[in-house]
Structure 1
Amino acid sequence: MKKPFNSIATSSQTHFEESEEEEEIESSSEEEKSDDTIDSDEEEEIERELAEVTFGELQKARADGTDSISRKPQTETKRRRANKNRPMELSSKKPVRSFRQVIQAPKKVVRDPRFESLCGNLDVEGFRKRYNFLFENNLPAEREEVQKQLKKARDPKVVSELKNHISWIDKQLKFESAKNTDAVILSAHKKKEKEAAKHGKRPYYLKKSEIRKQRLIEKYKKLKASGKLESFIEKRRRKNAAKDHRFMPYRRPNNNSEQ
């Protein structure tokens, strides 16, 4: 009964030993191949270096054996673009900078004509004189046309749009008239101050509040000359009374008097 057991054991041992021998042979062959590849690479490098050495240096090295051939240090070749408009190829091993100029585009120069000396200085008086026809002729004529359209319109949306347009024109005309009066007041004041400066007096500059007061005085003078001053004052009084009435407190109910 013991013989078959021994025969099986011997067969497994022989199979295991054969596999170990095969592995050792394969590993030794791989090492030899790797050594051969390394030697071949080194030989190729030496051949390349010798090809660059001059004939005189080779003769000295062979004659004395003292002069050793100096190997050139391996320097990284700079990558160049085939064309300046193409992107440069970079290795993926090196980290890329977070901010870099990919395309060399020309910078856009933004110029504001208000602050550029190339555009010249703004002449406010000349500008107002050149474009005064808009407020004297165009806007009043446009207001009359919109007023005619408002009478014919029946759609509530169109009516509201036309009313808003009329109110906008009125605001523009009112604002421009106030500007014109301020300009007239300032010009008259400057003339007076120039004459006073000739006599050695210091110039006095008007404040905005003083300009506003003079504007109101001019307005009252015009209304008085046209005979509309009393009606204007009455309208202003009613308007102010309505404003004050909103802030007046209501009478508190007195329960004792009712009882």
Structure 2
Amino acid sequence: PMEVSSKKAVGRFRDVVPASGSKTRDPRFDKLSGQLNQDLFEKSYSFLNDYKKSEQEMLRTSIKKEKNQETRANMESLLLKMVSREATEKQTKRKQQLLRERKKAEAELVKQGKKPYFLKRSEQRKLELMDKYQQLGEKNMDKILAKRRKKNAAKDHRRVPFKRRAE
């Protein structure tokens, strides 16, 4: 409206003259920056993996030389973080590869004239789990299952009432 209401309080800071200047933009969310190509990104920055491995080796050697227990513990925790981060990255890459393979196979079936089928999340998780167990091998799988059985048995034992345990 042309007239400002007298019932509302006037704001302290008004934009009388619009401020000139360029607005900053975040390339992660801006369309002008284009889309992220994950494969190209990984290829371009693959040299960082070499740096990370060399850092891990340097840490390992410095842990062996270190005499102070506190700094040694800090270094070991840092090394553990780096190793676990590397393992999770490896797992995510494997999952992406499996997803790509499934998509390619599905695209081939669609080209042949079949109806497209999209996996549910639960089915996807099952396939990933099956692949993980295949990667581990039979011996490791037996060890893992034995540990899991033991853990579940301990949980069940805790749930049993205390009086019945004594009998």
TM-score normalised over the length of structure 2:
0.72
Q: Does 1:248 align with 2:162?
A: no
Deviations 1:89-141 (A, max 9, x none): xxxxxxx9843458874244021112212211111222233334544x33333
Q: Does 1:131 align with 2:131?
A: no
Q: Following superposition of structure 1 onto structure 2, how do residues 6-155 of structure 1 map, counting pairs within 5 Å?
A: 98-101=12-15, 105-135=19-49, 137-155=50-68
Q: Quote the Cα distance in structure 2 between the aligned partners of 1:151 and 1:166.
A: 12
Sort the Cα spacing of 1:230 and 1:139 in 2 relative to 1 into closer, same or farther, 3 A: farther
Aligned to 1:9: none
Sort the Cα spacing of 1:148 and 1:117 in 2 relative to 1 into closer, same or farther, 3 A: same
Aligned to 2:98: 185
Q: Quote the Cα distance in structure 2 between the aligned partners of 1:153 and 1:238.
A: 38
8 Å contact from structure 1 (residues 185, 214) kept in 2: no
Deviations 1:225-258 (A, max 9, x none): 7x4333333344444445x2684356249xxxxx
Give the root-mean-square deviation of aligned CA atoms: 3.1
Deviations 1:166-198 (A, max 9, x none): 221122112111111111111111111111111
Sort the Cα spacing of 1:123 and 1:217 in 2 relative to 1 into closer, same or farther, 3 A: same
Sort the Cα spacing of 1:99 and 1:251 in 2 relative to 1 into closer, same or farther, 3 A: closer
Deviations 1:51-80 (A, max 9, x none): xxxxxxxxxxxxxxxxxxxxxxxxxxxxxx
Aligned length: 155
Q: Following superposition of structure 1 onto structure 2, how do residues 146-225 of structure 1 map, counting pairs within 5 Å?
A: 146-224=59-137
Q: Quote the Cα distance in structure 2 between the aligned partners of 1:159 and 1:170.
A: 16
Structure 2 unaligned blocks of 5 or more:
1-9
Aligned to 1:53: none
Q: Quote the Cα distance in structure 2 between the aligned partners of 1:127 and 1:179.
A: 15
Structure 1 unaligned blocks of 5 or more:
1-95, 254-259
Aligned to 2:7: none
Sort the Cα spacing of 1:152 and 1:238 in 2 relative to 1 into closer, same or farther, 3 A: farther
8 Å contact from structure 1 (residues 143, 166) kept in 2: yes
Deviates more, 1:191-200 or 1:227-236: 227-236
Q: Does 1:233 align with 2:129?
A: no
Q: Quote the Cα distance in structure 2 between the aligned partners of 1:97 and 1:133.
A: 54
Q: Quote the Cα distance in structure 1 between the aligned partners of 2:11 and 2:125.
A: 62
How far does residue 146 in structure 1 lie from its aligned partner after superposition? 1.7
8 Å contact from structure 1 (residues 223, 229) kept in 2: yes
Q: Quote the Cα distance in structure 2 between the aligned partners of 1:97 and 1:231.
A: 69
Deviations 1:1-52 (A, max 9, x none): xxxxxxxxxxxxxxxxxxxxxxxxxxxxxxxxxxxxxxxxxxxxxxxxxxxx
Which of the two has higher C-alpha Rg? 1
Question: Which structure ranks higher in relative contact order (CA pairs < 8 Å, sequence separation ≥ 6)?
Answer: 2
